[in-house]
Amino acid sequence: MLRLQAPLTDSYTLASPDELASRITAAKLTLGDRVLILGHHYQRDEVIRWADKIGDSFKLAKFAADNHQATDIVFCGVHFMAESADVLTGDHQRVILPDLNAGCSMADMADIDQVEEAWAEIAAVTAIDRVVPITYMNSAAALKAFVGRHGGAVCTSSNARAVLTWALDRGDKVLFFPDQHLGRNTGFDMGFGESDMRVWNPRLDCGGLEDREVKDSTLLLWKGHCSVHQRFRPEHVATARAEHPGVEVIVHPECAHDVVEVADRVGSTERIQEWVADAPPGAVIAVGTEIHMVQRLAREHADKTVYSLDPLICPCATMFRVDAPHLAWVLEELVAGRVVNQIVVDADDAEWARVALQRMLDIT
């Protein structure tokens, strides 16, 4: 989705890293507790160093929901995370995304029209009141509102199993969007087999499925993926094991199932961070997730060998858009009494998205 971010002035783009650092320090000091800076693990070092709280998307949503003091929450992450924070915070709080172009290509793989259409097509084939829609956190607020309205919930990579278990206690089938890989990996983890899961291709009539396939499947998995995580292949794991006998391979559940199958552990960014921190000195760990996080883990744990499973750099281009100049800009505008880049979810979507997010928080 194209969102327009106004270019920054020279005062930001030409400022040295040191100058930006002292300007951010000064702005933070002036703003005090009025501002809360949240940072996702994939953010650059020049940004994450200023975060008051760091986490995976679940933890950051909780930080936003639990903070009632800050009037301005600067979300150093991507658009769907900032939307969720807006939904979960009070009316007296504003959520700011430093660069409006920080979206998520996976979230853009499902839009509300496609989801409504899929829902109608599924309803024509099977009892729709037995189908529970679940959306991954990586989706627009309108999709979270859709699942809220239809008895479903949001999940993140850290609680997908708990949320899917909850859903299947309430119905016979789940429509899961937009990440087929998280859905499939969780389905296998729960003991489902290949034939219980079908991919729903929103570009094809009835998802490209026969009526019988829709009726027979337990998990209908939206044909979406993360362009960063789909790069990891089982061959990378084989190479890691050949080059470093004893290596521990840790991957994110957005990776394809054939990679997850041969990895040692699979978990959210927060879990990955914990596992690396808990590994003994001397451990060799190959990590399959975004490169900025992997490089930071390598620096923070110099007593261990931590490296990217994919030897080619694998950045998230949209997370990368948030940088020190944009952070300095939004903070200095706040100091000047101006709010820029506020993310506002419309009231109706916000009401139902809150229901879906709250169900997730209650389940986990």
Residues near ligand SF4 (CB under 6 A) are 78, 104-106, 138, 226-228, 254, 290, 316, 318-319
86 binds, among ligand SF4, ligand 13P, none (CB under 5 to 8 A by kind): none
Least gap, CB of 314 to ligand SF4 (angstroms): 9
Question: At a CB cut-off of 8 Å and minimum separation 6, what does 362 contact?
Answer: none
157 binds, among ligand SF4, ligand 13P, none (CB under 5 to 8 A by kind): ligand 13P
157 part of the interface to ligand 13P, by CB under 6 A: yes
318 binds, among ligand SF4, ligand 13P, none (CB under 5 to 8 A by kind): ligand SF4
Is 88 exposed, middle or buried, given 0-12, 13-18 or 19+ CB atoms closer than 10 A?
Answer: buried
The whole-angstrom distance between residue 266's C-alpha and the CA centroid of its chain comes to 15
Which CB, 41 or 144, lies closer to ligand 13P? 41
Of the candidate spans 52-60, 120-128, 232-240, 336-344, the one that interacts with ligand 13P by CB under 6 A turns out to be 52-60
Which CB, 227 or 305, lies closer to ligand SF4? 227
User: What CA–CA distance (Å, rounded) separates 9 from 326?
Assistant: 10
Least gap, CB of 276 to ligand SF4 (angstroms): 18
Mask for 256-295, x = binds ligand 13P (CB under 6 A): ------------xx--------------------------
Of the candidate spans 54-62, 66-74, 340-348, 351-359, the one that interacts with ligand 13P by CB under 6 A turns out to be 54-62
Which CB, 20 or 228, lies closer to ligand 13P? 228
Using the rule CB under 6 A, which residue among 76, 115, 118, 226 binds ligand 13P?
A: 226
The footprint of ligand 13P on residues 103-142 (CB under 6 A) is 138
Which CB, 269 or 295, lies closer to ligand 13P? 269
Least gap, CB of 92 to ligand SF4 (angstroms): 28
Least gap, CB of 71 to ligand 13P (angstroms): 26
Least gap, CB of 77 to ligand SF4 (angstroms): 8
Which CB, 252 or 326, lies closer to ligand 13P? 252
